[in-house]
Amino acid sequence: MSYALDVNLPNVPKGEMVEIVGLGTYENGKTSPVPNELLQLWELHAGATLEEANFQEGIKVKRAKSAPPDKKEDDKKEGGN
């Protein structure tokens, strides 16, 4: 499952980068995808899913829409270059 973080902290200027421990940095005022590698490590460390996390007010977890498959990956599966 893919997730995104919606970061809207009222005490931080829009556009400023905000560090979320274990998940990287995200731009305040935007919704950004969480890289799968970081998500897996975070969930292993926290012993919970991202949806179960209790983030401060202004940070929301959203299920990300499925991205279309990567063209290069499709070519590899079909034996192309």
Count structural domains, the chain.
1
Predicted confidence (pLDDT) at residue 7 exceeds the cutoff of 90? yes
* Confidence tier at 9 by pLDDT (50, 70, 90): very high
Partner residues linked to 23 by β-bridges = none
pLDDT of residue 73: 47
Convert 13-38 to b/e letters by CB count within 10 Å (16 or more is b): eeeeebebeebeebebeeeeebeeee
What confidence score (pLDDT) does residue 15 get? Answer: 97
Helix and strand numbers (H, E) in the chain are 2, 5
The tens digit of pLDDT for each residue in 17-62 reads: 999 988 999 999 999 999 999 999 999 999 999 889 888 899 999 9
* Domain extent for 56: 3-77
Tell me the mean pLDDT in the region 4-20: 95
